[in-house]
Amino acid sequence: MGEAVRYWELRRIPYNLALVLVAVVIVLRTWPHFEPAIAPGSILPLAVLALLANVCYCAAYGVELAMRSVGAAPRHWRTAVWIAGTLLAMLIECYWILDEIYPDVPFHG
């Protein structure tokens, strides 16, 4: 299992970087609208969302256990699971920012 932990934890950094990149691109492309939301009070909610994204990343360990129980060789599916999971996280992030957060940001335009 140590090999699995090494595999998944080394990919946690690119996973988080991908999510940060999505957030930065959305905020920069919609900057005038998001400007009022960038305040010290938004640090805690952002930290909670980052923590939740990393808790969701831990689902990979459940997939790892399930795949091992059916005898699948890790080299055949791990990369696909990582890519699919990262893309799903990016999609959820886009939805969350654009549908749940964006409409509530006060617009001063």
Element spanning 14, H or E: helix 2-29
Summarised one tens digit per residue, pLDDT across range 39-96 is 888 889 889 999 999 999 999 999 999 998 998 888 779 999 999 999 999 999 998 8
Summarised one tens digit per residue, pLDDT across range 94-108 is 988 888 777 666 554
SS3 content of the chain, % helix, strand, coil (to 5): 85, 0, 15
Question: What tokens appear for 103 in the block?
Answer: 């409409």
Look-up of token digits 């640090």: 43
Q: What is the pTM of this model?
A: 0.86
